[in-house]
Chains A and B, each alone.
Chain A
Amino acid sequence: MIRDITIGQYYPAQSCIHRLDPRVKIVCTILFLVSLFVQNSIWGYALATLFLAAVIRASRVPLKFIVKGLKAIVMLLLFTVVMNLFLTKGGRVLVDFWIFRITENGLRTSVFMAIRLVYLIMGSSIMTFTTTPNGLTDGIESLLRPLNRWKVPVHEVAMMMSIALRFIPILLEETDKIMKAQIARGADLESGNLIQKTKAMVPILVPLFVSAFRRANELAMAMEARCYHGGEGRTKMKPLIYRAGDYAAYGITLLYLAGIVVVGRFTG
């Protein structure tokens, strides 16, 4: 049931992308997202498509999974396309019907916006599919460490993030169990109007909150029992170290960026 949610989930596999340092994946993902927005030409998108396809291929995550993540943004996508299609002015008029008027520019903008959004989600889900949540928070902590100088509690924030991430599957599982238990007691979660449906959530939300607080308490206790006292003087069991493959990945991404800039110069 509820456990089948895929967005933001890790896909276990053996691939060169999985083995990359999480910092590399975070930085390169950000660069890729930026690259989508700094250019606006067919050749730029072709290059981005090539890059994304190559990365997906190398990651050994089935395309099916990555596409599944898009389901979450279908509404947003439709909205963007429709708004851009009808509201952008300029260029040759393609369709003129009653109050609707589609122009060449409108078509172009809406298609490009759609591609941007889709690649944005695909690009970031490749990162989450190939990096464990713990790897991600380690990477973020390490990338943000310079902020320590300005008294930003980087370690604490990273710890909170990794705990929150760790709790997502647990709470999903818990929700699934509580839902089943209440359905077994005859609870009807599907039928009825909005008010009835909201009311039907009470038997699920109350136990869920109780359990979340109980787990949080237990975790805090367990951490204190093992002398956790924040980030000061704390070392890592598996410190992040750049290897040859990581530098190569940076290199390839920079090459891609250079390509985007060049394409932009000549066609933009």
Chain B
Amino acid sequence: MSIQLEHIHYTYSAGTAYEKHALKDVSLEIPQGQFAGVIGHTGSGKSTLIQHLNGLLKATSGKFYYNGEDVYAEKYNMKNLRSQVGLVFQYPEHQLFEVDVFTDVCFGPKNQGLSSAECEERAKEALELVGLPEKYYRQSPFELSGGQKRRAAIAGVLAMRPKVLVLDEPTAGLDPRGRDDILEQVAHLHRQTGMTVILVSHSMEDIARYVERIVVMNRGEKMLDGTPKEVFAHYRELEQVGLAAPQVTYIMHDLKERGWNIRTDATTVEEAAEEIIRGMKHSYD
């Protein structure tokens, strides 16, 4: 059960003056249940990459297997793929259109051909998963606050009960509080449902503490791929492409350079604090 991309190339507006080679030879395998992060500078091809995952974009060349089945085969059921791989676009609140939040969330399941009782059940479940209180269900989606709108929109995708949830920069344009809320909610969702979650971001700080694996994109190519610890070890290369490792990585490396006997692979503030305390004890002994 997995997503498998092999040597994917993608070119926008091929054959025009605006031709853009947005993906170059990207190969990637994401096993079911993984919480993965895709990170890269603006324009590095993150959004292009993830739009392949539910067949919205078809690779110019390359292969894509979902659960071992060739997605680009002639008879492949795209509609089925789209209900298995839920894609939440950047600024998903811009897709809301119904008279109230609840009806909007029902849009996805309704398109899957479910009965209205089932749709409602799923909508309720999805809205609970994103933590939107019941008092908002019958309000117009346009009256909600930014963070609430985004939750409603994410619920709209979750209501389809996808096996894979892909979120394109879910924190863009939110204040720090709203950002942490959404990320916590997504992490919680992953723990609770065990679905594959792919989180796209241009900020390391955002995803470092949540994901098990980071894929770094640069100019349409996959530059690094590994656990956060492995990826942050290349912090100098990351800097060269305009990305920064979390601040703690820098602190740990600086301390090490000044002769402290500590490990440098902490990714969160808590881990770093522990390691520093350990290091201090060590040097006093």
Does the CB pair A185–B160 fall under 8 Å? yes
How far apart are B255's CB and chain A's nearest CB, in angstroms? 45
Chain A residues, Cβ within 8 Å of B12: 3
Whether A178 sits at the interface, judged by CB under 8 Å, is: yes
Does the CB pair B89–A188 fall under 8 Å? no
Which B residues between 90 and 115 are near A, CB-CB below 8 angstroms? Answer: 92, 94-97, 107-108, 111-112
Nearest chain-B residue to A214 (Cβ)?
B94
Does the CB pair A187–B54 fall under 8 Å? no
Chain B residues, Cβ within 8 Å of A174: 94
A interface size (C-beta, 8 A) = 25
Does the CB pair B94–A207 fall under 8 Å? yes
How far apart are B74's CB and chain A's nearest CB, in angstroms? 17
Q: Which of B17, B97, B108 contacts A207 (CB 8 A)?
A: B97
Q: Which of B2-10, B78-86, B223-231 faces chain A?
A: B78-86
Whether A177 sits at the interface, judged by CB under 8 Å, is: yes
Complex Cα distance, B157 from A185, in Å, reads 6
A-B contact count, CB below 8 Å?
Answer: 65
Complex Cα distance, B160 from A182, in Å, reads 12
Chain A residues, Cβ within 8 Å of B95: 178, 181-182, 185, 203, 207
Does the CB pair A184–B157 fall under 8 Å? yes
Does the CB pair A4–B13 fall under 8 Å? yes
Whether B192 sits at the interface, judged by CB under 8 Å, is: no
User: For this complex, into which size category does the number of interface residues on chain B fall?
Assistant: 20 to 34
Whether A11 sits at the interface, judged by CB under 8 Å, is: yes
Nearest chain-B residue to A188 (Cβ)?
B111
Does the CB pair B13–A185 fall under 8 Å? no
Whether B145 sits at the interface, judged by CB under 8 Å, is: no
Does the CB pair A187–B111 fall under 8 Å? yes
A184 touching B86 in the complex, CB below 8 Å, given contacts A4-B16, A11-B17: yes
How far apart are B43's CB and chain A's nearest CB, in angstroms? 14
Does the CB pair A186–B97 fall under 8 Å? no
Whether B268 sits at the interface, judged by CB under 8 Å, is: no
Whether B260 sits at the interface, judged by CB under 8 Å, is: no
Cβ contacts A to B, 28 pairs, < 8 Å: A3-B12, A13-B17, A174-B94, A178-B95, A181-B87, A181-B89, A181-B92, A181-B95, A182-B95, A183-B82, A184-B56, A184-B82, A184-B86, A184-B87, A184-B89, A185-B95, A185-B107, A185-B108, A186-B82, A186-B111, A186-B112, A186-B160, A188-B111, A207-B95, A207-B96, A210-B94, A210-B97, A210-B142
Residues of B within 8 A of A (CB): 12-13, 16-17, 51, 54, 56, 79, 82-83, 86-87, 89, 92, 94-97, 107-108, 111-112, 142, 156-157, 160
Given A184-B86, A185-B107; 6 other pairs, CB 8 A cutoff: A177-B89, A178-B94, A180-B89, A181-B92, A185-B160, A203-B95
